[in-house]
């Protein structure tokens, strides 16, 4: 289906406006699909993102500022996400050894187990792009990088 049909729009001011609206609509489509999967595991997209960051650094601790820098959703409040994940026992945190003002965060075995359990479901995200060839996916990546560049 085309964006024109999906949102029942007669036309667009130009191709740039159409591209912007198409990207926003597609973003929301993808977020919805991802959120459906995360609901099954009682976590949010942002919590998942933090857990993935921590798994990538495991067993080393990561500061909240580092987590903020690496998060996909820059508007997220990493400190609150850390508190919620700590309540679920997916992470531990402590005052920084080098900088006492910094909080260092480490993923727990329970958090690692959750991500391992989720790996199959997360691979389903790739299927959202199954109607693209590898070459088309590569072109899309190049275009998106260029847009942000």
Q: What is the pLDDT of residues 92-140, one digit of tens each?
A: 998 867 766 778 999 999 999 999 999 989 888 888 899 999 999 999 9
Assess whether 1 and 69 both reside in one domain: no
Assess whether 33 and 74 both reside in one domain: no
Domain with 22, as residue range(s), is: 1-39
**CA–CA separation, 105 vs 66, rounded Å?**
10
User: Is the predicted pLDDT of residue 7 greater than 90, yes or no?
Assistant: no
Assess whether 106 and 59 both reside in one domain: yes
For the whole model, what pTM was predicted?
0.87
**CA–CA separation, 59 vs 62, rounded Å?**
9
Assess whether 9 and 64 both reside in one domain: no
Domain assignment of residue 29, yes or no: yes
Assess whether 55 and 15 both reside in one domain: no
Domain assignment of residue 104, yes or no: yes
């Amino acid at each position: 289906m085309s964006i024109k049909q999906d949102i029942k729009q007669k036309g667009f001011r130009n191709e740039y406006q159409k591209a912007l609206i198409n990207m926003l609509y597609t973003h929301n489509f993808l977020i919805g699909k991802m959120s459906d999967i995360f609901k099954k595991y009682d976590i949010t997209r942002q919590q998942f993102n933090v857990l993935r960051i921590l798994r990538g650094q495991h067993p080393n601790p990561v500061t909240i500022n580092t987590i903020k820098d690496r998060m996909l959703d820059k508007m997220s409040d990493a400190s609150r996400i850390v508190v919620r994940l700590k309540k679920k026992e997916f992470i531990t945190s402590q005052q920084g050894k080098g900088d006492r003002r910094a909080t260092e965060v480490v993923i727990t075995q329970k958090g690692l187990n959750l991500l391992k359990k989720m790996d199959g479901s997360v691979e389903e995200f790739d299927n959202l792009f199954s109607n693209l060839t590898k070459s088309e996916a590569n072109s899309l990546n190049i275009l998106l990088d260029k847009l942000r560049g």
